[in-house]
Structure 1
Amino acid sequence: MKYYIAGHRGMVGSAITRRLQARKDAGEAIELVTRTSAELDLTDQIAVREFMSSQKPDVVILAAAKVGGIHANNTYPADFIYENLMIECNVIHQAFAAGVTQLLQLGSSCIYPRAVQQPMREDALLTGVLEPTNEPYAVAKIAGIKLCESYNRQYGVDYRSVMPTNLYGPGDNFHPENSHVLPALIRRFHEAARDGQEEVVIWGSGKPRREFLHVDDMAEASLHVLELPRDVYAAHTEPMLSHINVGSGSDVSIRELAEMVAKATGFLGQITQDATKPDGTMRKLMDVSRLGNMGWKASIGLDDGIRSTYAWFLEQDPAALRAK
């Protein structure tokens, strides 16, 4: 079986690649095909067409995307919608043109409306207004879902979509301005502990609740969904509602998260909230009952996941982390 993993250097793509490589090393007949962004520009239609037609993979895993936090989404909205739409259109269509019948594309929980009932169910898609700060990215990810559903309906291929909650783990982005909340906290508390600071200030009231999933769990869930027999997958989805939520099924407050990170990094000072900063959405939790009914649930607890992620962070070159 020949797998092409688009985005194999990203956090999720690299985790999926590690899983497949381990299976290959254990004796499974797996061939892995990867390309860096320098080797293959996924926004270039001709380049992607030539790659797909020459490689002819059996399975495509689309984990490539332009991603970032609120600051990046607000600053570069045109880049986010254009690049993600182009990547999805090129990879999905050219995979089909090359005869690929099995594809998995990864999305994001930001596809759901801003004022959505919690926990967020798959059928909440397109039922309300999106969060303005990341609407361009969300629109692109919704388009990816609909691309897969449309090719399934028209051509009978088996293209599936998984929508992860907030992910963290090895390969995460720890940039002080462009990272998500958990890696940002890890970096901030690490530097505070290292420099002997007595206080770390976190934005808002600390009351908003967020769900987190370790990237290794996400990799396992992705392959689980990808490899379900077609009739089993179809039994839990609908032709026009085929995406699957992937999450841990539980959430914590930002204050609780900060305390967990402080413990993992050895920070002994005070944690205070800056109430002048916005809280954002008060809760974002995925309904993962569909995935549970398909036979999968997360196995890495948040405490253990934070500790292992911090250990990975410490092993990295500080100069490289500053540049990411």
Structure 2
Amino acid sequence: MTMLKDICVHLCSSVDFWGDCMISLPVALYLALTLAWLLHPAPAAAWTEEELKAAERLLERELDQRWTAEADARDRTAADAKARAQTASEAAARAAVARRQMIETLAQTLVEIPGGSFEMGCGPGDDACEGDERPAHRVSVKPVRIGRHEVTQAQWTAVMGANPAQIQDDQRPVEMVSWDQVQQFLKRLNVETEGPPYRLPTEAEWEYAARAGTRTAWWWGAEIGRGNANCDGCAGPAADRETARVGTLTPNAFGLYDTAGNVAEWVQDCYHETYSAAPTDGSAWPGPCPDGYRVVRGGSWLGRPASVRSADRQSVWPSDRSGDRGFRLARDL
């Protein structure tokens, strides 16, 4: 047995590190005993020098094969890890290009709205008017660019890296976003772009653009009609009780889609219960907000026809998120 142990120690002496040797020693001893039984029926002490050398060669081959297999396994693991890292790097590069392209095309989705003045608030003959839509007042609005449609899930994801929407589809409007989260979106977007910063429309800009020169309850007329908006009772896509892809319905005279229905839209202003002392120059009603609320305009797929009127206003807590609420962009000329 001492001689067999010496053989194993001799084999291990060729290893550069003792860790592998100590792990392999029990294996070597087992192999030596097995060889002893196979090669000679006599006790191991009676082995000839030639038999010992043969056993040593067999053990060396066995250990070499084991170490070679382990080295090959390590090499394969390293190669697999390198390939995965390369694939991830290429995917990240493609995503970065797509993100950059999406951000660059955002400017092309905005429509130039000519400046002008209009009567903001409750319109004549609108029986659904509420107190916060009064008093109607004259407002002058400067030319501005406003999103042709609501910000899509693809656009949001390009900037923020994740899609929060309940009903996911790149070409549907993003929803489940709070006013506070929209501010973070704008901050990140503006770091990536040159020129005038992107922002939310002011409430006056929004209503001016939504009306597109009209004073009726809806930009298309005094009756809700059929299929003019995506809302509950508008006989449009909301028959499926969900958002519709942007650009599905007819745009207004300014070329804007879904200013009525689909998703209700955050604007910049603080909410006030009436228009008393409201700005008349088209600017946002600044904070601090009296009760902490911000304004949402346009109604949604979830609302009834009265809530998608051009004058309708809603007050919402800025941290609140909902599956029927999104936004569109604005940008100064």
Mark yes or no: TM-score above 0.5.
no
Q: TM-score range by the shorter chain?
A: under 0.3
Q: Greater share of helix residues, 1 or 2? A: 1
TM-score (norm 1): 0.21
Name the larger-Rg structure.
Answer: 2
The alignment's TM-score, normalised by the length of structure 2, stands at 0.21
